[in-house]
Amino acid sequence: MDYMYAPWRGEYINNKEKGCPFCNIVNNSSKDEEHHVLYRTKNCFLVMNKYPYNPGHLMVVPNLHKDSIEDLSSEVWLEMSTLVQKTVKLLKEKLGANGVNIGMNLGECAGASIAEHVHFHIVPRWRKDTNFITTIASTRVYSTDFEKLYIKLRDLFLHVE
């Protein structure tokens, strides 16, 4: 069996923060830069995933702490969906993504690591973003500096209507 060491994941696994991390973001808008929040609307926000699958992995999260989409109002659902749509457009047009994966993991058994607070994942993809190292060594290479990408995306979202 091959092992890939990712010590940065230890922070996530050993996180002793009490409560919901998304609610922490909702309740601390003065810390948006620290939390890597890119954009806020009335009912939701867009944040970079601190433990991304790919550079630019973002999440759209409702302000309300709900564990199922059927408990969200139509207004909140529409606002989230609209933000997903705007985000995909920006990732394609301004970041040059060739494709985008969008998904929700509803419930822990479906793969949600924060199952108590629903959220969309938006993962930009590029041609050949999976190469020999993934194929041969079962390892992914994150080719972009996280903080620099946050600043770039944050600045792009300043102009979103």
Which is higher by pLDDT, 151 or 136? 151
Residue 20: predicted pLDDT? 94
What pTM did the predictor assign? Answer: 0.80
Q: Distance between CA atoms of 15 and 114, rounded to whole angstroms?
A: 12
Is pLDDT above 90 for 51? Answer: no
Residue 135: predicted pLDDT? 46
Q: Distance between CA atoms of 121 and 104, rounded to whole angstroms?
A: 6
Mean pLDDT of 60-65: 98
| Mean pLDDT lowest among 45-54, 108-117, 123-132 | 123-132
Mean pLDDT of 74-88: 97
Q: Burial, 115: exposed, middle or buried (Cβ in 10 Å; 0-12, 13-18, 19+)?
A: middle
Mean pLDDT of 92-96: 92
With beta carbons less than 8 A apart as the criterion, state whether 73 and 143 touch: no
Q: Distance between CA atoms of 17 and 23, rounded to whole angstroms?
A: 12
Is pLDDT above 70 for 80? Answer: yes
What is the architecture of the domain spanning 9-157? 2-Layer Sandwich (3.30)
CA distances from 32 to 115, 148, 156 (A): 22, 15, 15
Mean pLDDT of 42-58: 91
Tell me which residues are annotated as active site. 119
Which DSSP string corresponds to 96-114?
--SEEEEE---SGGGT-SS
| Mean pLDDT, rounded, of the chain | 84
List Cβ neighbours of 113 (8 Å cut-off, separation of 6 or more).
105
Domain ranges of the chain: 9-157
With beta carbons less than 8 A apart as the criterion, state whether 107 and 115 touch: yes
With beta carbons less than 8 A apart as the criterion, state whether 114 and 20 touch: yes
**63 DSSP assignment:** S
